[in-house]
Structure 1
């Protein structure tokens, strides 16, 4: 039975058997009964990590250890509010910081991202409504006009599914609801290219 540790771009964390492409950390979110029914973070430095690093091995959801979260790809991790880990993804972290409009130490970046991704005290995702579609770069996650989440790539919109993306559809027109925090979108616009699990994205 799969563990409840697969993060969705809309902020939900579900149980799903498909393997993720990246791992994440927000602190200890589980106990002996599994994921806490309401708690969705324990600190503000939400990181996105590689699946393998220096031969380290972990027991998933071990007692009193951080909850290992998983994402389909890096674009989903960004939509959920994470940023590259400065340890296992040091080069990506440096590239992201160089493209990001937030200056100062990592803690300053994490505070900014947290203000853009989370609604305080209710542990819900903050969404950004009424955003102009034409101004959004590849890798941004939005809700289409039917309320379905998906990623933008080129002239196409790909609806998200936990097991992968649906076929290319025309980009929604007009104004949409943005899931990816604006600071991450700014980094995409300035040259950071998030990994997207699409065949036509080179993955």
Structure 2
């Protein structure tokens, strides 16, 4: 049975059998019974990591260790509020910081992202409504006019499902609801290109 550790762009954490493309960390979110029913973060340092680094091996959801979270691709990780890890993805982290308009140390970036991604005390995703779709760069996750969650890629909108992306639709016109934190969107606009697994798309 799959563990409840697959993070969705809309903030939900589900159990799903498909393998993720990246791993993430928000601290200890589980106990002996599995994922805590309400807790969704333990600190503000939400990182997005590679699946393999220096041969390290981990037992998933081990007691008193951080909860390993997984994302379909990097665009999903950004939508959920994560940023590149400074250790296992040091080059991506440096590029993201260079493209992101948030000065200061990593802690300052994490505070900014947390304010943009999370509703305090209720552990819910903060969403940004009334954003003009035509102004959003590739890699931005949105809810379209029909409430479908998906990623923007050029002039197309790809609806998202836990197992991959659906067929391309025209980019929506007018205002949409933005899921990706605005600071990450600003980094995309300035040249950071998040990995989007469109080759694994499904109909």
Cα distance change on mapping 1:18 and 1:200 into 2, 3 Å: closer
| Correspondence for 2:170 | 170
Question: How far off is 1:199 after superposition?
Answer: 2.7
Q: Determine the C-alpha separation between the residues in 1 that align with 2:199 and 2:123.
A: 34
In angstroms, what is the RMSD of aligned CA positions? 1.1
Matched, 1:13 2:13: yes
TM-superposition CA deviations, 1:63-110 (whole Å, max 9, x none) = 000000000000000000000000000000000000000000000000
Counterpart CA distance in 2 for 1:15 and 1:113 is: 25
Q: How does 1:1-203 map to 2 (within 5 A)?
A: 1-199=1-199
* Superposition deviation, residue 148 in structure 1: 1.0
C-alpha displacement of 1:29? 0.1
Q: CA deviation at 1:200?
A: 9.9
SS in 2 for 1:77: helix
Gaps of 5+ in 1: none
Q: TM-score, normalised by structure 2?
A: 0.98
In structure 1, how many angstroms separate the alpha carbons of the residues matched to 2:162 and 2:110? Answer: 26
Q: CA deviation at 1:36?
A: 0.1
| 3-state SS of 1:167 partner | coil
Separation of aligned partners in 1, 2:125 and 2:115: 10
Moved over 3 A (4+): none
Report the Cα distance in structure 2 between the residues aligned to 1:22 and 1:165, rounded to whole angstroms: 16
Distance across 2 between alignment mates of 1:147 and 1:117: 19
Measure the CA separation in 2 of the matches of 1:138 and 1:200: 17
Check conservation: 2:164, 2:200, Cα contact below 8 A: no
Aligned partners of 2:34, 2:188: CA distance in 1, in Å?
35
